[in-house]
């Protein structure tokens, strides 16, 4: 079996923390460690010429900070900040942090991040195989040289995955390269109701509604707090 690897770099000005991150990373064969740097200033020229897939990055470093480095290298798909300062979390996600780990790193927390990274890259690869076009009441998804035709009324819900959207029917799931917000702006998706930042459900599939979740077909989906009011009228009709 072919195992995919992802190039990875570690940047941390503290030697013990740097070695700790390296020890954790070496436990995962999917990471191809191409560099370990003790400052963002030293790492930046390397990354300009050879961007990596995964960047494990400290936040607070002398000279160029981790946040500033990430801001200059937004093309790197996965940036995981590893820091002793939880207060930087909001700033890190403003520069598209994939995850935010607080030192000392715990093995189970690091493992969770690695699993999410693998899922992210798998979804990215699959989504690149798909192309989406819309008709009046159909969705055409291109998979390689094949065209898959879906009737819109067969789609139960949409799940947003940042720049991708998972389209779910009762029997299949497809991932397309389009945000859920962009999809919902198209006329064919006007029958879908946004119930959460990451979920929209086809109205006619909704069987049950309560304050925290919606039951649609065999699926139970979360309801976001800011979307609850939009469900009130629909709840009265069930």
Tally the domains of the chain: 2
Which of 100, 126, 152 finishes a domain?
Answer: 126
Q: What CATH number does residue 114 fall under?
A: 3.40.50.2300
Which residues lie closer than 8 Å to 136 by C-beta, 6 or more apart?
188
pLDDT of residue 1: 35
Mind listing the pLDDT tens digit for each residue in 171-199? 888 888 888 998 898 888 888 999 998 99
Judge whether 96 lies within some domain: yes
pTM for the predicted model, two decimal places: 0.58
Q: What CATH number does residue 216 fall under?
A: 2.40.50.1020
Q: Which residues of 205-223 are buried (b: 16+ CB within 10 A; e: fewer)?
A: bbeebeeeebebeebebeb
Mind listing the pLDDT tens digit for each residue in 65-88? 999 999 999 889 999 999 998 888
Judge whether 1 lies within some domain: no
Query: Could you please report the per-residue DSSP string of 46-83?
Result: HHHHS--SEEEE-S--SSS-HHHHHHH-TTSSEEEEEE
- 194 and 214 both lie in a single domain: yes
CA gap 196, 200 in Å, rounded? 7
């Amino acid at each position: 079996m072919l195992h995919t690897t992802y190039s990875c770099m570690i940047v941390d000005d503290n030697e013990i923390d740097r070695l700790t991150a390296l020890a954790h990373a070496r436990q995962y064969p999917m990471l191809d460690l191409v560099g370990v740097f003790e400052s963002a200033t030293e790492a930046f020229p390397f990354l300009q010429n050879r961007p990596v897939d995964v960047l494990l990055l400290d936040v607070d470093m002398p000279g160029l900070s981790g946040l500033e480095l990430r801001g200059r290298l937004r093309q790197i798909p996965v940036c995981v900040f590893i820091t002793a300062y939880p207060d930087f979390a909001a700033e890190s996600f403003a520069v598209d942090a994939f995850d935010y780990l607080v030192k000392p790193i715990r093995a189970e927390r690091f493992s969770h991040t690695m699993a999410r990274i693998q899922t992210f890259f798998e979804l990215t690869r699959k989504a690149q195989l798909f192309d989406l076009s819309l008709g009046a009441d159909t969705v055409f998804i291109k998979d390689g040289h094949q065209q898959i035709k879906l009737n819109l009324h067969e789609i139960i819900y949409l799940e947003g995955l940042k720049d991708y959207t998972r389209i779910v029917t009762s029997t299949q799931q497809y991932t397309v390269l389009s945000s859920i917000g962009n999809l919902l702006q198209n006329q064919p998706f006007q029958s879908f109701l946004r119930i959460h930042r990451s979920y929209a459900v086809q109205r006619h599939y909704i069987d049950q509604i309560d304050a925290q979740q919606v039951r649609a077909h065999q699926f139970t989906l979360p309801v976001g707090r800011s979307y609850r009011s939009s469900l009130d009228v629909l709840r009265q009709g069930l």
